[in-house]
């Protein structure tokens, strides 16, 4: 599952400056080796306004048991208003195996690019 996440180019940076992308800082080990603690990514908060997430998408979502906490995970399944989310590093990830499927309304954006180098 170690897909490459490309760095933000000029277009993504322009979208960020226009507030059409948001920055998100990774804090845990659940997405290693793809993302390390301290890495920053850009997310598109409007990505799912007209379409559903797809398996393989990287998303930022509110934690279903702690709505004040945001998590970054990979979508593994989508069914009837809910997504199954998993971390790429199963030994270090709290994900749908622990808290079950996540309501679509908890997904706050799709990861588009890596911010910075």
Q: pLDDT, tens digit, for every residue of 32-50?
A: 999 999 999 999 999 999 9
Sorted by where each begins, the domain ranges of the chain are: 10-114
84 token code pair: 């199954």
> Which of 2.60.40.420, 2.30.40.10, 3.50.50.60, 2.10.109.10 is the CATH number of 10-114?
2.10.109.10
* Number of residues in the chain: 117
What sign does the dihedral 33-1-61-116 (CA atoms) show?
Answer: positive
Tell me what pLDDT residue 80 has: 83
Summarize pLDDT for 60-110 with one digit per residue, the tens. 999 999 989 999 999 999 998 999 999 999 999 999 999 999 999 999 999
The whole-number pLDDT of residue 2 equals: 47
- Over residues 6-33, the mean pLDDT reads 94
- Chain position carrying tokens 């290693």: 32
User: pLDDT at position 70, please?
Assistant: 96
pLDDT at residue number 116: 74
Cis peptide before 33 (omega within 30 of 0): yes
Q: What is the pLDDT of residue 58?
A: 97
Distance, in Å, from the CA atom of 61 to the CA atom of 93, rounded to the nearest integer, reads 14
1 pLDDT band, cuts 50/70/90, is very low
Cα separation values, 45 from 12, 23, 33, 83, Å: 13, 10, 24, 16
């Amino acid at each position: 599952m170690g897909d490459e996440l490309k760095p933000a180019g000029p277009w993504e940076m322009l979208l960020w400056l226009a507030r059409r992308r948001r920055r998100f800082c990774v804090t845990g080990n659940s997405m290693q080796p793809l993302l390390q603690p301290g890495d920053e990514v850009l997310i598109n908060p409007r990505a799912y306004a007209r379409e559903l997430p797809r398996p393989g998408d990287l998303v930022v979502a509110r934690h279903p048991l702690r709505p004040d906490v945001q998590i970054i995970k990979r979508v593994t399944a989508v069914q009837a208003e809910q997504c199954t989310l998993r971390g790429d590093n199963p030994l270090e990830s709290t994900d749908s195996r622990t808290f079950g499927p996540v309501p679509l309304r908890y997904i706050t954006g799709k990861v588009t690019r890596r911010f910075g180098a």
